[in-house]
A and B are shown apart, each in its own frame.
Chain A
Amino acid sequence: MKIPVIRLAMMWTRRLLAVACFLALLWGGVRPVLAPFWRGGSHFPTIAERLRSERSELRCFAEGVFERTPQRAAILFLVPSDDSDGGLVNHRLRYVLPGRQIVTSGDAPFIATWHRPPSSGRVIWTGCGGTLVQR
């Protein structure tokens, strides 16, 4: 008699575990899809308004540079070190300046300075906190 009882207990244990696994799969599967709404949507981690405003100005300047430089132009882009995104600002700027070669050191025919003293050369445009010059 013992063996059938043990088998029955094992069967029910396995079934209970299977149901628990399914509930965990269901919870784990649905939760991440709803997570953005649970967090209230607006609580998406954002930067402080001051930084946002500054970067909006940088974007405005970069868009101005994009309009005033030819395709494939190499541009030396100089920004304050606080705004260099740990040295990745060239990647950030590429999104706004598609088709331009952005470098942050060395030399280039165009020099865009933002929130820094302008470089020497022919001034092409000044605006949005920066100056674009051509060597």
Chain B
Amino acid sequence: MMFRAALITLLGAGAAAAVLLLLDLLRIPWNAWTLGTGLAVVAVIAWRWSGGLKAAGVGGLKPAATLINCLTAILVLAHAIAGMRPGLWDWTDWLITRRDYFFIWGYKARLFFVEHGIPWSFLRTLPNDFSHPDYPVLVPLLFDVPAVLTSSFDPRLFAWIDAALGGALLVVAYRCLRDELTPTESALGTLALSGSALLPWFGFADGPLVAFAASAALLIRRALRGHTVSLGVAVALLSLAAMTKNEGIAFFVAVCVAAPNLIRKLWPAAAVIGGWLVARASMHLPTDVFVGPLLPRIAHNVAMFPSAFANVPVYQPIVWIAALVAIALAPAANLRRERFLLTVVAIQLCFYLGAYAMTPYDVRGHVNGSWERISSHVTMLIAFAGLTSIRESLRSRE
């Protein structure tokens, strides 16, 4: 039941944003009535579709597992409350750490809300240094859903969107752990994963990206272990991840490399990405990574890597260290079992290092401003692999 609700939350978020996009393409003005009607149609489709999903047969829960799951739910609630702090959304604070909200995600959401649509030609005129007009528009559209429904732009509601998507990811993680672990172990594991799903960057695209991408990866891992029912949902979530940030497109490529046997089944996500890239090119939305002479820039930036990364940790360094040590306790077996997740992590990190190598900006500033945040995109996957490795070490009699 919770698993189904989590999938509906994740897919419903994408569908709600898609309704706004469709209204825009059909030149239907955004208001509570038009969006409400669209959401009602989506709800009917989701209701019919969810009836087709097999019920999650995870059996009854022990009191200990229920208690731990309640603690995790309290953390999700606490995350939403933490995201309501006025300081996060106060324009007068001008915090460097909040730039991406005011310059990119919140700005676009506000722009679309004020214009009752997506002003594509205006986006093209924005400078790329901080506004990033080439980024996909799913997150601003998602932020606009409550704004259009209530006819007021209250960014504090974005914290609840973040928390709902993060909570849904935790339910998916619990379900995937439950395939291999007892209810109490799965509940404890999910509690440990809470920080990897509930990211502190409220109003940024990283929270939704992790929710969509990590859910997709965990469901594909599940499909690779024989649960074919998960694959269709995973492909849809991969598409949503790709429409969240450019890193989501890289994530799709990483998944294709890590699971070559599934490439043919992932074509719907490839079609969505292809469609977006064609639309982006046809609208001349500028992108910055490939501008100017590349080779001298790469040579210069790579030489700066040691100083750039010297004082910047990954997101949740304790979790990374603990997970890697746990995997190293029985490296051959753990690497074999978690080959898919670990390959995705490795390729995704290579993409990020490649982007830093090509950045036209000061590489030290770029790394300082983003490494902790973008390393959070794969923290859930490495932590998940760590948890299953810990369980294997505790079970092992050798």
Please give the residue numbers on chain A whose beta carbons come within 8 Å of chain B beta carbons, in ascending order: 7, 11, 14-15, 17-22, 24-37, 41, 44-47, 51-52, 55-56, 59, 71-72, 85, 88, 91-92, 94-96, 98-99, 101
Docked complex Cα distance between A24 and B383 (Å): 11
Quick check: B78 and A33 within 8 Å, CB to CB? yes
Docked complex Cα distance between A21 and B392 (Å): 13
Interface assignment of B344: CB less than 8 Å from any CB of chain A: no
- Check A26/B115 contact, CB under 8 A, given A32-B316, A55-B91: no
Docked complex Cα distance between A28 and B322 (Å): 9
Docked complex Cα distance between A109 and B235 (Å): 49
Partner of A25, one of B130, B387, B396: B387
Docked complex Cα distance between A47 and B97 (Å): 13
Quick check: A37 and B78 within 8 Å, CB to CB? yes
Interface 1/0 per residue, B171-206 and A, CB below 8 Å: 000000000000000001001111110101000000
In the complex, given contacts A29-B191, A44-B85, what are 17 additional A-B residue pairs having Cβ atoms less than 8 angstroms apart? A17-B326, A19-B390, A22-B326, A22-B387, A28-B195, A28-B317, A29-B192, A29-B316, A30-B191, A31-B195, A33-B194, A35-B200, A37-B78, A47-B94, A95-B103, A96-B91, A98-B114
Docked complex Cα distance between A32 and B90 (Å): 22
Number of interface residues of B (CB under 8 A): 59
Quick check: A95 and B106 within 8 Å, CB to CB? yes
Quick check: A45 and B131 within 8 Å, CB to CB? no
Closest CB of chain B to A72's CB: distance in Å?
7
Docked complex Cα distance between A91 and B194 (Å): 33
Give the residues in chain B near A55, CB-CB below 8 Å: 91-92, 94
Quick check: B115 and A99 within 8 Å, CB to CB? yes
Docked complex Cα distance between A21 and B299 (Å): 38
Closest CB of chain B to A47's CB: distance in Å?
6
Quick check: A21 and B78 within 8 Å, CB to CB? no
Interface assignment of B393: CB less than 8 Å from any CB of chain A: yes
- Check A22/B131 contact, CB under 8 A, given A32-B200, A33-B79, A36-B82: no
Quick check: B93 and A46 within 8 Å, CB to CB? yes
Q: Within residues 121 to 138 of chain B, which ones have a CB less than 8 A from any CB in chain A?
A: 122, 125-126, 130-131
Interface assignment of B53: CB less than 8 Å from any CB of chain A: no
Give the residues in chain B near A20, CB-CB below 8 Å: 322
Closest CB of chain A to B345's CB: distance in Å?
16
- Check A95/B79 contact, CB under 8 A, given A29-B319, A29-B383, A101-B125: no
Closest CB of chain A to B193's CB: distance in Å?
6
Interface assignment of B295: CB less than 8 Å from any CB of chain A: no
Closest CB of chain A to B100's CB: distance in Å?
11
Quick check: A18 and B394 within 8 Å, CB to CB? yes
Quick check: B91 and A59 within 8 Å, CB to CB? yes
Most chain-A CB neighbours within 10 Å: which of B92, B107, B114, B119? B92
